[in-house]
A and B are shown apart, each in its own frame.
Chain A
Amino acid sequence: MMAAAWRHKRVAASQPGFLPLKSNLGGDSSNVKRRKRVNKNKKKSWNKFSDIQDVEEFLEDVRLQERTTGGLIAEKTDDSLFFVDTGDKDEKDKDAQPETTVKKGKHSKPLRIDLILQPDSHIPAPKNVLAFQQPNAKKQRRTSDRAAKLASMGILPRREKLLQLRRAAAASGVSAKKRAVANNNPDRTFYDLWTAETAPETADPYYLEQTKKKLVKRPDRLNEKPSVLPAIEVIAPGGSYNPDFFSHQDLLRKAHEVEVKKIKAEEKLARQLAVNEDVATEETTFKEQVEGLIEEEEIEPEEPEGDTEGTVTGPTATQEKKTEKQRKKEKAKRIKELQRKAERQVIDKRQQLFQLRSISADLKKQEQRTKMRQAQRKAQQEAQKSMPRRLGKLKFQDPDLDVQLSNELAGSLRSLKPEGSILKDRFLSLQKRNIIEPRDRAKFKRKYKLKFSEKRAFREIQ
């Protein structure tokens, strides 16, 4: 491309109509150095050694012409370049002079600084391209084109649509779509829940249930409370802020008992876990070392002699086969026994007639016993209902009683320091009533081990 331009310019220079502004152009060929012979098979050498002086000069001249006259002189009309000198220049000057003198007061000369700042080139400055460029212009053009296309098809953008809907709703006075209100919105509205009339269902209830149009009926079993304990357990009278002396003492005693029990349990555990403190002393170590070396003069316990004779060492006699006679005898004996028993039964039955009273008493006794047991069992079951159940890994443990010692009690309501936390109380009450299972706070577990390293600065000091 570049080469093409030069050629073009060179052609222009050689054109007969071109007028160079500086006279030395074209004719000054003696200045040209001798051509060096260089291989021009590389682009680099082309650039380096090709002679473009003439072109440069020509272009410089073109630019100069453009700067000073606003175009190539060759292309200018004669009128703009020449004028006919009629010689009445002075007159004109004279004509112009008085005007300037008159207007001198009004039209002062432009300031020199302004003149300096005036562009002296006749070529207008190139406009700032960046000022006219838009970021994302292409994209915007595309989107606007698309919107226009959609609009021509009659499809409105979403925002417009929503706005129209809202306007229509506002005009008609009905909100188009009720937004769900958060349950913890402080301004939420309530209504009469229990007499809210529902239209009687005409459709098949089975159909409604299957299509999830109607919810499944809640079984009544679920409305039973899991414990008979009251929701709010009022503190004992000793827990008053200004308690009666004895009820306060009573409460303190209860708390004390609980504490004592705990301490005892702890002590017991400690006792059981205690390591036998058999620390080796010098004596014992020595003993251990000489174990078996020293002959012990202990008297061995005398063995009881008489016992050995009396002891039986198991069945030794092998049993011999029974004789026929023996068998018969045994059989007869057996039969006789059975007969005797049968007879006895008959007699007993007959005798029972006379024992009617005692039998009935026995029966009564038994019945009473069962009744008592039933009652007991029932009572136990009732008691169980108010007990916290084992619902998970942890057992429910009664919280510590909230008490204030006599010296902690406040004299007046103003100086009262509340004891315990109601939030915790409520939480434990839910656990006690079997509504939630007792839980511990999840312990923090570190996923990776901590790694310690000394900072370099620290190391350097050391």
Chain B
Amino acid sequence: MGGLQKKKYESGSATNYISRNKARKKLSLSLADFRRLCILKGIYPHEPKHKKKVNKGSTAPRTFYLLKDIRFLLHEPIVGKFREYKIFVRKLRTAYGKAEWGAVGRLKREQAFVQIGPHHQGEFTCFESSGFSSRSFILWGCHVMNERLKPENLSDKRYPTFIDALRDVDDALSMCFLFSTFARTGKCHVQTIQLCRRLSVEWMNYIIASRSLRKVFLSIKGMYYQAEVLGQTVTWIVPYQFAHDHPTDVDYRVMATFTELYTTLLGFVNFRLYQTLNLVYPPKLDGQGELSLKSECEEDYALESESYSEKLSALSASLARTVPSVEEEEAELDHFPAEGEDLEKMEAREKIELEQNKQKKLFEGLKFFLNREVPRESLAFVIRCLGGQVSWDKSLCIGSTYDETDETITHHIVDRPSIEKQYINRYYIQPQWVYDCVNAKMLLPVEEYFLGVTLPPHLSPFVEESEGDYVPPEKLKLMALQRGEKPLFTEAAAEEEEEEEEGDEDEEEEEDEDDEDEDDQSEEEDEAEDEENLAEMEAKRAQGKRLPVKVTPGKVKPENRMRTEQEEKAEEKRLAIMMMKKREKYLYDKIMFGKKRNVREANKLAAKRKAHDDASKADKKKKKKKC
């Protein structure tokens, strides 16, 4: 036969992969630089299918990259910059070591892209005093390097279209919101924090202007928001204020690099989004807003230079547009004659559209006032997203538009058990009402959210129950409300209400509300009683007489069309099942069994809940009696 003998690991998967260390050496970069480069360029490690083959017979766990990816990186001019920078640092270090200040100055001058602001000078001092402190080097190096992250590459390469970028904006938003809440303690650059803050405020202002907020969920971790931006669903998480401890097992260098990338991305996305709404970028408050925000005590909050950005971040005024805003026209959906399924889909779509339009204008005409203990930024953001007006105490934050004494305020958001001075013509509610309204896409009844009242659970809007799943009764109630049904007063609810009435009569407004509701209820009860009476009377009459031997003429029973239809349908289904092939039948049975099981479980849970409720109610009663 002849031919050369094939050697192991010279073809196939062994040559398609490269280990991280080899890749690093090939690019002649340090590990930290290599990591940065990979993050910026979007090169991810890869798990080979046959690790032993790739690893040349060894089974030691290693990080592998695709060789093609690394070859692509070799073309990057940024690699050269990394090397240049490395040499520059070496020279600088030598110059510092020899105390050749002239050489230091020259080097700094020559490295044109090195800019040393006041912050960096601080870094430099520690660099001078304690040799080359690793942290200062990291931050500084990162900073310099990132100047080489050209946005052009971002567009051509990582995000070829705007929609691509928008799809990836989840991460960017979460990171920016997170970093903007960091304390300026040196865990990361102060400038980075400022930039993140600026970008997140811009984003919130865009969401307000476009009214695209859809869902909010207050979790124990942070606040989840979901918005629909240009047809893309964007979810992001915002930490609560003052909720930070700095975990030690997080690599801040890596996170800082990601943040650099994401701030760049978010900035460009913001620009484009502002353009779509004809808003001025960087954002400017419109004339009215600016006027209304003018207050004498501006200087108390911020420096002259910062007061404008602070006002922007107050979120209480609308933004200036490049084109004077026209009353928004309702973009109607195109109607095409369609049949069958398409028609159904169309209808569904229309319904959703309608709902969304309603949601957008949910708070229009409502005037909110935030007490000082509620999360101001979050609430202001949500309220403004739904078209409401919002203000707060002048001493709380910059940008309040009206006072607490304003007579036109409709809702006053308070998060304390009681408040001393109350105005009659406004509701005093807890902050959860606002969030629940967003999720329910409707104005919920306020009674359950009054001061001092135990709140109904805050349900997650991110779960979608499929058929047969357990649905908490609160959600059922909510769904009924959404369908437009009157709130059904179950016995338990009625009972509770009575108790409440007994308990607290001091709250006038609540009582008023209750009275109205009760009126409706009493009417219903009256009718029911009437009917009962009639039946009783008839029974008495019947008893009075002897055997009723009388033959009454037969009544023509009105044919219940609906019922017959249903019956027919059921019959058809039964027949279809009968006609099934054995295999299909088996499958069908399996599915049905699964469904039944689900229902059974849901019923079990519901029963449990009822038992729990009853028990808790009994407890309450006992307590009351004791009291």
Which of A's residues lie within 8 Å of B, judged by CB?
179-186, 188, 190-194, 196, 212, 215-216, 218-219, 221-223, 226, 230-232, 234-237, 239-247, 389-393, 402-404, 411-414, 416, 418-427, 430, 434-437, 439-441
Q: Known interface pairs A190-B268, A413-B375. Does A215 touch B151 (Cβ–Cβ under 8 Å)?
A: no
A439 proximity list for chain B (CB < 8 A): 251
Q: Known interface pairs A413-B431, A434-B45. Does A215 touch B77 (Cβ–Cβ under 8 Å)?
A: yes
Tell whether, in the assembled complex, residue A193 and residue B155 are in contact, meaning their CB atoms are under 8 Å apart.
Answer: yes
Tell whether, in the assembled complex, residue B415 and residue A412 are in contact, meaning their CB atoms are under 8 Å apart.
Answer: yes
Partner of A190, one of B236, B267, B458: B267
Tell whether, in the assembled complex, residue A223 and residue B160 are in contact, meaning their CB atoms are under 8 Å apart.
Answer: yes
Q: Known interface pairs A184-B191, A234-B224, A241-B218. Does A190 touch B270 (Cβ–Cβ under 8 Å)?
A: yes
Q: Known interface pairs A222-B72, A223-B164. Does A419 touch B474 (Cβ–Cβ under 8 Å)?
A: no
Tell whether, in the assembled complex, residue B236 and residue A232 are in contact, meaning their CB atoms are under 8 Å apart.
Answer: yes
Q: In this assembly, does B459 line the interface, its C-beta being within 8 Å of a C-beta of chain A?
A: yes
Tell whether, in the assembled complex, residue A234 and residue B263 are in contact, meaning their CB atoms are under 8 Å apart.
Answer: no
A232 to B167, CA, bound (A): 12
Q: Known interface pairs A194-B162, A414-B373, A422-B222. Does A215 touch B75 (Cβ–Cβ under 8 Å)?
A: yes
Interface size band for B:
35 or more
A242 proximity list for chain B (CB < 8 A): 218, 432, 455, 457-458
Q: In this assembly, does B275 line the interface, its C-beta being within 8 Å of a C-beta of chain A?
A: yes
Q: In this assembly, does B143 line the interface, its C-beta being within 8 Å of a C-beta of chain A?
A: yes
Name 14 extra pairs, CB < 8 A, besides A239-B460, A420-B221: A179-B113, A182-B146, A193-B271, A193-B272, A212-B77, A231-B174, A239-B221, A246-B472, A412-B415, A414-B415, A422-B178, A424-B247, A426-B174, A426-B175
A200 to B565, CA, bound (A): 68
* 4 cross-chain pairs, A with B, having the tightest CB-CB distances, nearest first: A237-B460, A186-B194, A231-B170, A218-B157
Selected interface stretch from B237-245, B483-491, B512-520: B237-245
Q: In this assembly, does B351 line the interface, its C-beta being within 8 Å of a C-beta of chain A?
A: no
A402 to B219, CA, bound (A): 10
Tell whether, in the assembled complex, residue B47 and residue A419 are in contact, meaning their CB atoms are under 8 Å apart.
Answer: no
Within 8 A of A (CB), among B294-325: none
Within 8 A of A (CB), among B550-579: none
Tell whether, in the assembled complex, residue A193 and residue B154 are in contact, meaning their CB atoms are under 8 Å apart.
Answer: yes
A243 to B474, CA, bound (A): 11
Which of B's residues lie within 8 Å of A, judged by CB?
35, 39, 41-47, 61-63, 68-69, 72, 75-77, 112-113, 115, 117, 143, 146-147, 149, 151-158, 160-162, 164-165, 168, 170-171, 174-175, 178, 189, 191-192, 194-195, 197-198, 217-222, 224, 235-237, 239-240, 243-251, 254-255, 258, 260, 263-264, 267-268, 270-272, 275, 281, 373-375, 415-416, 430-432, 454-455, 457-460, 462-463, 470, 472, 474-475, 605, 608-609, 612
Q: Known interface pairs A193-B154, A239-B220. Does A232 touch B237 (Cβ–Cβ under 8 Å)?
A: yes
Closest to B309 in A: A186
B235 proximity list for chain A (CB < 8 A): 230-232, 234
A414 proximity list for chain B (CB < 8 A): 373-374, 415-416
Tell whether, in the assembled complex, residue B247 and residue A180 are in contact, meaning their CB atoms are under 8 Å apart.
Answer: no
Tell me, rounded to whole Å, the shortest Cβ–Cβ distance linking B172 to chain A: 9
Closest to A435 in B: B44
Tell whether, in the assembled complex, residue A183 and residue B431 are in contact, meaning their CB atoms are under 8 Å apart.
Answer: no
Tell whether, in the assembled complex, residue B149 and residue A183 are in contact, meaning their CB atoms are under 8 Å apart.
Answer: yes
Tell me, rounded to whole Å, the shortest Cβ–Cβ distance linking B335 to chain A: 32
Tell whether, in the assembled complex, residue A418 and residue B221 are in contact, meaning their CB atoms are under 8 Å apart.
Answer: yes
A392 to B62, CA, bound (A): 5
